[in-house]
Structure 1
Amino acid sequence: AERLHPNDPQRILRGLEVVEATGRTLSDWQGDAQNPLLSEPATCLMLAPARDWLYARCDARFQTMLADGAAQAEIAALSALYLPPQAMALKALGVAELQAVADDGMDVEAAIAQAQMHTRRYAKRQMTWFRNQMSDWPRFTEQDYEDNFANIFSFISKK
C-alpha cells in the first residue's frame, strides 16, 4: 500500500482483490523468489515502428474490427450484461464510443474518429513505457518487419 498513490483507484482495487482472493498482498507475491520462466537465457529486442506507421495500423485495425462486425457484437453482449459504468470491460478501447452510438445516437464517424484517437494515445503510452522500461534493449525501427526479418534473425542468432 505504501507504493500506491491514493489517486490510483484501479491499482488499489486490484491490490484489494488479490488480498481478498489469496490472503496475501501483491508485494508478498512479487517478493517471492520464483523459478525463471525460461530455463535458457532469452534474447530481448524491441520492435519500435515509426509513430505514423503505427498509428495508421491502429486506425486500420479498428476499421477492420468494425467491418467484420466483431465490435458491434461485443457491444451488444456487454450491454446485455448491464454492467456498472466503472466495470473494466467497459473501459476497453472503443467500447464507450460504440456504446454512445448505440445508446445515445452519437454520429458513427465521430465515434470512430474518437475511438481511433484513444487507441493511438494508448499505443503511444505503450511505446513510452517500453522505451523507459526496456531502455537497454536493442531496437528495430523498420516498419516492414517481413522485409527486415533477416536483420532481426541475424541479431538473434549472434546471441
Structure 2
Amino acid sequence: MSGSTLISVIVAAHNEERYIGRCLRSLLAQTFPRTKFDIIVVDDGSTDRTAAVLQTFGNDVRVLRNDENIGLPASLNRAISSTHSKFVVRVDADDFVNASFLEILHLFLTENPRMDAVACDYLLVDDREEVLARCDAMKEPIACGIMFRTEQLIDIGPRLEIIRRLAFSSAVG
C-alpha cells in the first residue's frame, strides 16, 4: 500500500486453513475505501494448507512467513513492525467481520482524538455461523477486532481493536 494507507489490519495465523479465507474475504468486503487500508497476515509456521489459502488472495494481502511457529505475540509484533499506517487493527484468523467494521472503528477514533483505542462487541458463532452468544467487549474481552491509534500502541492486555501508531512508537522507543 502507498503512503495514503490509514489502517493496517494485522492477522496472525497458525494452521488456520479452515477459517483464514473467510476472515480475509470479510476484510476485503469492507465499506472503508480499499486504497486506505492494507492487510498483513503472518503465517506463523503453519503445517496445514494455510499458505496455499493465503496464496489465492494474491496482492490483496501481504503475507509474512515465519519458518517456525514463534507464537502469537511475536507474530503480532512482527506484523506491527512492518506497518506505517496511522491505525492498526488486530483481527484473529478465525474471525469474520461486518462490512462496516473498519469504517465504524475509524470514524470513532477520528471523531474522538483523545481516545487511542476502541473495541467492539462481538458474536460467538459455531461452525455453521449460527450465533451462540452476543458478547460485550468490556465484560468479556478477547484478543481480536480491536483498532488502535498506532502512535499510542502499548501492551495493555489481550483485547484491543484499533490504536494510534504514536502510542506504540513512544512505548517501545
Q: Same-fold call, TM > 0.5?
A: no
Question: More helix by proportion, 1 or 2?
Answer: 1
Greater relative contact order structure (CA < 8 Å, 6+ sep): 1
TM-score (ref. length: structure 2): 0.23
Q: Give 1 or 2 for the bigger CA radius of gyration.
A: 1
